[in-house]
Structures are given as structure tokens and as C-alpha cells.
């Protein structure tokens, strides 16, 4: 060690009552490069230390008042003095004095007479030793803090004693704090729960036998007997014979990490709203079920469930009620599926689940083993029975029904994605069949889905390609026989698909949102063409245009109608917008607001397909309606079917009492026309008058019916023009 430099010399405290000796020691140390302060007795030495905090203390043993032994002991009692180098100077050579000096806390001693030439070296090495000790203490303290923060302990097993020596942190982690640091393996195993005890013992003995590095995660009981999780790692030290002499191990408390992983895994595999397994969890379980079904030549079933009209609950009662409904549905589904239907397994415990929430209002139920497909139908019926009950949610009575698609595997798919896809297809078929039912998947659905996809792809391009057109069907005044109005009917002619009727593509257009653009095109085209016919002299009192659900619920729909009327120049009272009865009854209060906004513009309003939506007469009185259109289902066989005749007569009489006009659709025979005349129906339309005509055909039809002497019912005119 180099001598202390003047810029950073060590400070030495010399305590001796002999002034001459103190002078010689001080001189020797200063020549060796140290800074020195002096004290003449024990009390003065302690005071000097407290004031200057020297790096080394040289203290005489025999001094008046407080001797060196007492002063040394008192210094050691001060905080932060545990490792201060204290060199005792004594002329005593007896062993008892030396022992007493060490007992008092001396670091070392030096006998008189002192070799002053060597004194500087002796003190210098004491300084070096002190610095190293301080560094070790600091390092040990930092390591201890780091291990405490990291909840990391260590242990050492000795092959000779068969005992394990534990660090303080290790003892605390394993719940043995306050016990001797040395203990046997059995004492440690007493803190390991029964499920893990055998596994830990085997791991420990395997480490002794093989001498290989290894690790193990297991459970242990903490100081309060709560379960904790630790990770142990071990390495072996071999003796000259190749046998394990020591095992050095570390253990870390990973409870919080394990809990965090569990929370993350739960977020990844479970739905936060209902607590049910989510799509990922379901797919893992379904994969296992499918593999077992293939391996053991058995069959299972997937039930794909969607709540009917769930969006209406969210839109009318709010998303909070919607969330409550989903929780209640999850609970009801758990009741509906028996324990024998169990499918999805909890990744944390051995508890089993039987259903999952895929997202939104979609749920799946997996039956991994069924004897026949009818077993899945039994479960579907049980679900439908439970879900049709009224549910109380914050003072609201809510009734929802399920549409369920059933896919049997492996018959209906050899992959999880395939089964889900086919279950989804079957569910949509259940919705198209009227909802609140279940449907089994069959291959024809796949063909229908492919065709549906093709139709959707082509429909997206229909407007840009000018493939859409309007046909018009005349509406005739029942008494005068004159054409008084037209109904615009949409047609789509695609080069690949041919002529497509509205029922084939309108529902798809509404589902995909394409109906907004198509509906606006229909409205603008019908208004523009009607204005052209009126300008050419045609007597058209109204042009009827059907309004889709998607258009009607848009907040900007009335403004869109006003804009189109202004752009085309058509008088507002000529435009008659037809909305279905079922559309109005979905949300009658909102419907009234929209209808009133349209009436403010000045357009006419009609309820299409009246009699099929079971509307309330109380609501009907609130609707600012101008016309009712009797559905063709009530016109068929009206001259022979007493029920149809009674319904048609009642609608006409009711409309007359409410000052509403009535148009009968689907008139195909002279007998039907005669009955409607007798019951004072205002207008009729149907094949008996004319089929829907293209724009050019309708232009000729209108011109023909305006000729002097023409058949005012339009029959001869149609034959002349249409055929």
C-alpha cells in the first residue's frame, strides 16, 4: 500500500499520558505521511474521537483516570465504531493483559519499547485492513438489501454433517425465522405442503446423487402458514473422489410473480365481465376435445349461441343494463348445462367449465362426448327454456331469446376454426328462420355462405358499375280506375349472378351497411324520374319508395330526404315513404320523432305490410301516417277465405275512421278487385293491374293509359305495352 498522500492522508489518534512517548509516536507517524492528533488520557481520547473521527486509534493501556482497556471498550460501544482499528500500546507482556485488550475490543497490540521505524508500516496495513473490512461490510450490506428486496436467500448443505446452513433471508422466506441457521432437510420439508413434499425431497436427493445444476418451483408455508411459492436453484461442489461434498442453493420468493402471472393468464383466458372462459381458452379446450374425438372414434358437439335483439337492449336501456344482462345470461347458461356436459377446464384449478363467451353476445357450449346429435338438441332446448324467462334488471323486465347453431364434430369439421365457423353459420340460419330456435349445420349452408359472400362482393361494386335499376308498379284508384301512383321497386342485374330480386340481396345490404348508399340512390333516382314524368304531363299523385331499417334509424335521414327533394325538384307531397309495421314497433317512441320530422318536410307516410307486425292501436294513433298498405298475404283468396276477408274489411274500416288511405297489395284476380271495391278500399296494385315495369316500359304504360278511351284499370294498356 502506498503511503497516504498529502491530499488525502489518514488521520491517527494517539492516546497516552506519557508526553515524551506521545511526542515520539506522533513524530514517527507524521514522517510516515499521516495526520496525527493527540490525547493525554482515556476521557480525552474519547472526546477527540467524537470530534475528529480518526481512521486509526493508538492507545496506551496504563493511564490515570480511565485506562486504555476502559476507553477501548467505551469506543467500541459507540455507533459506527465496530470496525475502527484500535492498536493497544503496552509494556505488559503477560498473556492475561493481552487477552483483556482483545476482550475490550482492541484490533491488535504493540509492546514497548516501540520500533518507530516499523510503526508507520504497522499502522498503514491496519488502515488497509480497515478499508477492506469497510468495503466488505458495505458490500455485504448491499447484498443483504438486494436479497431482501429480491426476496432471495441462500443455503449450504454439508455432506459430512448432513445439515443445511440457511441465510437469514432464506429462513424468513421458509417460515423458520428465529430458529438456528443450521437445520436438517426434514425441518425444511416440514414447511412444504403435502402435495409438493415428495417432489422436493426427490429433487434434493437427485442433486446429491447426480451433482448437476437444477432448479425447482414449489409451494411452501410462510411464517403465517399461508402458501407461498419459491424457486430454488442448486449447484454441487465435488470432492477429490467425485462425490458431492456441498450443495450450494438459492431460493427466491416468487409468490407475487406467480400471482401476477395468474392475473395476466386470467386476463388472457377469461372474460372480465362474466368470468367465463374467453375465445382463446375455449379454443384450447375445443382442440383437446376434437383430438380425443378423432382418436377414440367418438363425436361431440358445439353449440354456438347468439342473443336475439341484444343490440336493442343496449340502445334503449344503455350499456350498463346490457352488461348486467350478459352476466345474468352467463349464470343462466351455467344452470342450463348439466355437469355431464362439462367441457372447458380452468387453467388454475381442477374445476371444470361448460361454456365460454366469445365476445359481445356470443356464447359457445362444447359437449365433448355425445351418443347422438339429438343429445345436443336436448341441451339447446334446455337453454331456450331458461332464457325465455323474464329477467329483472334495475327495475326493467327484459326478455331475450337465443338463436343456436349446432355443429357435430368431427363430422362437421376437423379443426377448431372449422367447427366454430360451421356453428356460426348454423346460428345465422336459426336467425333467418325466425330466431329463438336451433339449427344443425349441414353442407348446404357452406354453399349458401359462399354464394352469400359472392353476392356481397358483387353488391359492393353494383353502384359503381350501374348495375342497379328501378322498376315501377302502378297503383290504381279503385273507383275511377285511373293510375294515381307508382311504387318504386329495386332490381339488380349482375353479369355473373343474373337478375337478383330484392329479397335476395336487401337483407345482406342492410347487414353490411351497404343499404345506406343504395337506399339514397333509390330515393334520388325515383324522385328524379317521377319529376321527369310529371313534367312530361303524367298525372302521378305519389311515388312510393320503401325505406330500409338502416336508413330509418339514421339521425340524418330526414335531412337526407329534404336534400334529395331540393336537388330533384320534386314536390314533397308527391313523395310517399313506406316503412314496415315491424320497423316502427322496434322503437315506437323514436319512430314517432322521425316520422314527425319527415311530416315537417311535407312528404306522405305509409305503413307497408300492415297487419303482419302486430302493432298496438295506441301507437298507431300516435304515428303521423297517411296510408296503410294491406299485405298481400291477406288479399290472397280474399273472396273465399272468411278470415282474410274479415281482416281486410276491418283494416279498411279502421283506416276510414282514422281518415287514412288504404292500398291493397297483391291484387291478382277480378274477384279480389270486386271485393275491395265493395269494401271501399282506396287503391289497389298487383299483377291484375300490371307487373313491375322498367322505366321505358312505365313511360309507355303511362302514355297508353292517358290516351282517350283507354281502359282506366290499366289492364289493356299493360297487355299492349308489357307483352
* Across 204-228, average pLDDT: 86
Q: How many Cα atoms sit within 13 Å of 719 on the Cβ side?
A: 7
Band of the pLDDT at 4, cuts 50, 70, 90? very low
Say what the pLDDT of residue 148 is. 66
Same domain? For 532 and 663 the reply is: yes
Q: What is the CATH number of the domain that holds 44?
A: 3.40.50.2300
pLDDT above 50 for 343: no
Helices (DSSP H) in 391-514: which residue ranges? Answer: 416-432, 443-462, 502-512
| pLDDT number for residue 351 | 36
How sure is the predictor about 416, in pLDDT bands with cuts at 50, 70 and 90? Answer: very high
Residues 180, 183: Cα–Cα separation, whole Å: 7
| Higher pLDDT among residues 337 and 542, named by residue | 542
pLDDT, position 161: 85
Q: What is the pLDDT of residue 564?
A: 96
For residue 351, tell me if it sits in a domain.
yes
State the DSSP H helix or E strand holding residue 549, giving kind and residue range, or none if neither.
Answer: helix 549-552
In eight-state DSSP terms, residue 270 is B
| Predicted pLDDT of residue 163 | 86
- Tell whether the model's pLDDT for residue 105 goes beyond 50: yes
Write down the pLDDT at residue 149: 67
H helices of 297-433, in order, are: 310-317, 319-336, 374-387, 416-432
What gap in Å lies between CA 156 and CA 247, rounded to an integer?
A: 6
Q: Answer yes or no: is 540 within a domain.
A: yes
- Considering the domain boundaries, does residue 3 fall inside one? no
Q: Which residues contact 52 (CB under 8 A, 6 or more apart)?
A: 11, 13, 37
Do residues 249 and 232 touch, judged by C-beta distance below 8 A?
yes
Task: Please state, in angstroms and as integers, the Cα–Cα distance from residue 700 to each residue in 207, 394, 674, 694, 704, following that order.
Answer: 100, 62, 27, 10, 6
- What is the reported pLDDT for 707? 62
Mean pLDDT lowest among 71-75, 257-261, 326-330: 257-261
Name the pLDDT band for 394 (thresholds 50, 70, 90): confident
Domains held by the chain: number = 4
Residues 301 and 384 reside in one and the same domain: yes
Res 186: pLDDT = 82
| pLDDT-based confidence at residue 94 (cuts at 50, 70, 90) | low
Residue 597 pLDDT: 93
Q: What is the pLDDT of residue 338?
A: 59
Answer whether residue 577 shows pLDDT above 60.
Answer: yes
pLDDT in tens, 531-544: 999 999 999 999 99
Binning pLDDT at 50, 70 and 90, where does residue 719 land?
very low
Name the residue with higher pLDDT: 667 or 610: 667
CATH assignment at residue 184: 3.30.450.20
Predicted confidence (pLDDT) at residue 241 exceeds the cutoff of 90? no
pLDDT, greater one: 553 or 222: 553
More confident residue, 90 or 283: 283
Q: Report the mean per-residue pLDDT for the chain.
A: 84
- The verdict on 132 and 156 lying in the same domain is no
667 occurs within a structural domain: yes
Say whether pLDDT at 180 is over 80: no
Asked if residue 210 belongs to a domain, the reply is yes
Q: Considering only residues 389 and 626, tell me which one the structure prediction assigns the higher pLDDT.
A: 626
Helix H, strand E, coil C: the string for 482-518 is: CEEEEEEEEEEEECCCEEECHHHHHHHHHHHCCHHHH
CB atoms inside a 10 Å sphere around CB 267: 11
Q: How confident is the model at residue 708 (pLDDT cuts 50, 70, 90)?
A: low
pLDDT on residue 89: 87
Q: What is the mean pLDDT of the segment spanning 378-392?
A: 87
Rounded to 5°, the CA angle 420-424-425 comes to 120
Together in a domain, 598 and 678 = yes
pLDDT band at 710 (very low <50, low <70, confident <90, very high): low
User: Is pLDDT of 356 > 70?
Assistant: yes
Instruction: Give the C-alpha separation, 684 to 676, whole Å.
Output: 8
Give yes or no: residues 71 and 137 share one domain. yes
- Amino acid 614: pLDDT: 47
Among 507, 488, 635, 515, which residue's Cα sits nearest to residue 574?
Answer: 488
Q: How far apart are CA 292 and CA 27, in angstroms?
A: 94
Pick from 476, 472, 535: nearest CA to 705: 476
Q: What is the mean pLDDT of residues 291-303?
A: 90
- Per-residue pLDDT, 341: 44
More confident call, 348 vs 635: 635
When computed from its CA atoms, the radius of gyration of the chain, rounded to whole angstroms, is: 48
At residue 721, the pLDDT reads: 33
Using alpha carbons, select from 578, 545, 575 the residue that is nearest to residue 472: 545
% the chain with pLDDT above 70: 90
Asked whether the predicted pLDDT for residue 449 surpasses 50, the reply is: yes
Quote the pLDDT of residue 717: 37
* Rounded mean pLDDT, 699-711: 74
Q: Note whether 603 and 716 are same-domain residues.
A: yes
CA 546 from centre of chain: 40
Residue 487 domain flag: yes
pLDDT for position 49:
93
Given 146, 181, 213, the domain boundary residue is 146
Shared domain check, 429 and 348: yes
Mean local confidence (pLDDT), 272-291: 89
Give the residue from 117, 146, 175 where a domain finishes.
146
Give 178's DSSP letter: T
- Residue ranges making up the domain that contains 345: 274-441
Residue 533 grid cell: 314524368
The Cβ of residue 485 has, within 10 Å, a number of other Cβ atoms equal to 24
pLDDT of the residue at 398? 85
429 and 481 assigned to the same domain: no
In this predicted structure, the answer to whether residue 201 has a pLDDT above a threshold of 80 is yes
d(CA 344, CA 277): 8
**354, part of any domain:** yes
pLDDT given at position 317? 84
Mark whether 142 and 159 lie in a shared domain.
Answer: no
Reply yes or no on whether the pLDDT at 200 is more than 50: yes
Which residue among 116, 146, 176 closes a domain? 146
Indicate which CATH number applies to the domain containing 655. Answer: 3.20.20.450
* pLDDT-derived band at 651, boundaries 50, 70, 90: confident
379 and 283 inside one domain: yes
pLDDT in tens, 464-478: 899 999 999 999 999
The verdict on 48 and 159 lying in the same domain is no
Q: Is residue 487 located within the same domain as residue 584?
A: yes
Going from the C-alpha of 636 to that of each of 588, 646, 654, 664, the distances in angstroms are 29, 13, 20, 11
Query: Is residue 713, in this structure, part of any structural domain at all?
Result: yes
> pTM of the prediction?
0.52
E strand or H helix at 252, and its extent? strand 244-253
Q: Give me 260's grid cell.
A: 401476477
Q: Is the pLDDT of residue 558 over 90?
A: yes
Amino acid at each position: 500500500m502506498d503511503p497516504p498522500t498529502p491530499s488525502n492522508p489518514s488521520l491517527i489518534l494517539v492516546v497516552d499520558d506519557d508526553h515524551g512517548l506521545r511526542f515520539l509516536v506522533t513524530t514517527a507517524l507524521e514522517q510516515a505521511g499521516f495526520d496525527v492528533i493527540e490525547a493525554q488520557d482515556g476521557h480525552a481520547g474519547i472526546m477527540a474521537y467524537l470530534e475528529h473521527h480518526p481512521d486509526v486509534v493508538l492507545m496506551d493501556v496504563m493511564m490515570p483516570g480511565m485506562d486504555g482497556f476502559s476507553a477501548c471498550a467505551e469506543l467500541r460501544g459507540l455507533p459506527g465504531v465496530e470496525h475502527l482499528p484500535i492498536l493497544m500500546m503496552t509494556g505488559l507482556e503477560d498473556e492475561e493483559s493481552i487477552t483483556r485488550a482483545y476482550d475490550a475490543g482492541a484490533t491488535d497490540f504493540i509492546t514497548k519499547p516501540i520500533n518507530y521505524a516499523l510503526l508507520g508500516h504497522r499502522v498503514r496495513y491496519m488502515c488497509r485492513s480497515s478499508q477492506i473490512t469497510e468495503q466488505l461490510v458495505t458490500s455485504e450490506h448491499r447484498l443483504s438489501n438486494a436479497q431482501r428486496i429480491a426476496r432471495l436467500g441462500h443455503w449450504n448443505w454439508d455432506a459430512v454433517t448432513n445439515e443445511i446452513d440457511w441465510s437469514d433471508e432464506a429462513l424468513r422466506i421458509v417460515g423458520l425465522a428465529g430458529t438456528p441457521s443450521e437445520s436438517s432437510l426434514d425441518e425444511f420439508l416440514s414447511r412444504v405442503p403435502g402435495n409438493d413434499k415428495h417432489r422436493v425431497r426427490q429433487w434434493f436427493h437427485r442433486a446429491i446423487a447426480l451433482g448437476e445444476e437444477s432448479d425447482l418451483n414449489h409451494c411452501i408455508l410462510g411464517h403465517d402458514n399461508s402458501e407461498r411459492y419459491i424457486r430454488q436453484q442448486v449447484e454441487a461442489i465435488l470432492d477429490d473422489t467425485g462425490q458431492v461434498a456441498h450443495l450450494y442453493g438459492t431460493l427466491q420468493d416468487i409468490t407475487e410473480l406467480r400471482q401476477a402471472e395468474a392475473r395476466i393468464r386470467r386476463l388472457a383466458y377469461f372474460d372480465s365481465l362474466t368470468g367465463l372462459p374467453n375465445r382463446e381458452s375455449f379454443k384450447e379446450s375445443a382442440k383437446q376435445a376434437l383430438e380425443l374425438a378423432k382418436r377414440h372414434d367418438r363425436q361431440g358437439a358445439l353449440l354456438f349461441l347468439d342473443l336475439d335483439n341484444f343490440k336493442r337492449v343496449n340502445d334503449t336501456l344503455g350499456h350498463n343494463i346490457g352488461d348486467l344482462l350478459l352476466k345474468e345470461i352467463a349464470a343462466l347458461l351455467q344452470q342450463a348445462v348439466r355437469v355431464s356436459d362439462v367441457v372447458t377446464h380452468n387453467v388454475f384449478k381442477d374445476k371444470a367449465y361448460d361454456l365460454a363467451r366469445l365476445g359481445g353476445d356470443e356464447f359457445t357450449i362444447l359437449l365433448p362426448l355425445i351418443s347422438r346429435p339429438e343429445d345436443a338438441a336436448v341441451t339447446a332446448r334446455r337453454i331456450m327454456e331458461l332464457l325465455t324467462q323474464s329477467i329483472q334488471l334495475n327495475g326493467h323486465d327484459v326478455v331475450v331469446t337465443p338463436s343456436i347453431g349446432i355443429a357435430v364434430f368431427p363430422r362437421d369439421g376437423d379443426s377448431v376454426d372449422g367447427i366454430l365457423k360451421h356453428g356460426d353459420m348454423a346460428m345465422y340460419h336459426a336467425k333467418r328462420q325466425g330466431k329463438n330456435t336451433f339449427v344443425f349445420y349441414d353442407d348446404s349452408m357452406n354453399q349458401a355462405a359462399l354464394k352469400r359472400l359472392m353476392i356481397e362482393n358483387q353488391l359492393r361494386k353494383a353502384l359503381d358499375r350501374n348495375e342497379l335499376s328501378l322498376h315501377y308498379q302502378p297503383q290504381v284508384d279503385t273507383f275511377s280506375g285511373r293510375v294515381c301512383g307508382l311504387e318504386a321497386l329495386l332490381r339488380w342485374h349482375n353479369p355473373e349472378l343474373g337478375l337478383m330480386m330484392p329479397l335476395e340481396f336487401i337483407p345482406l345490404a342492410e347487414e353490411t351497411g351497404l343499404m345506406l348508399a343504395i337506399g339514397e340512390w333509390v330515393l334520388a333516382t325515383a324522385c328524379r324520374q317521377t319529376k321527369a314524368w310529371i313534367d312530361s304531363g303524367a298525372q302521378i299523385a305519389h311515388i312510393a319508395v320503401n325505406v330500409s331499417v338502416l336508413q330509418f334509424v339514421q339521425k340524418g335521414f330526414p335531412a337526407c330526404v329534404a336534400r334529395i327533394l331540393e336537388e330533384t325538384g320534386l314536390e314533397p307531397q308527391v313523395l310517399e315513404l313506406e316503412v314496415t309495421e315491424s320497423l316502427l314497433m322496434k322503437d315506437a317512441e323514436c319512430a314517432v320523432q322521425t316520422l314527425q320530422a319527415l311530416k315537417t318536410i311535407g312528404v306522405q307516410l305509409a305503413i307497408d305490410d300492415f297487419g303482419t307486425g302486430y302493432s298496438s292501436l295506441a301507437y298507431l294513433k300516435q304515428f303521423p301516417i297517411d296510408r296503410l298498405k294491406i299485405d298481400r298475404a291477406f288479399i290472397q283468396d280474399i273472396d273465399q277465405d272468411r278470415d282474410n276477408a274479415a281482416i281486410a274489411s276491418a283494416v279498411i274500416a279502421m283506416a276510414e275512421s282514422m281518415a287514412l288511405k288504404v292500398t291493397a297489395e297483391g291484387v291478382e284476380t277480378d274477384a279480389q278487385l270486386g271485393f275491395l271495391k265493395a269494401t271501399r278500399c282506396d287503391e289497389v296494385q298487383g299483377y291484375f293491374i300490371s307487373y313491375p315495369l322498367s322505366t321505358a316500359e312505365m313511360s309507355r304504360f303511362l302514355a297508353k293509359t292517358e290516351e282517350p278511351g283507354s281502359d282506366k284499370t290499366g289492364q289493356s294498356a299493360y297487355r299492349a305495352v308489357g307483352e
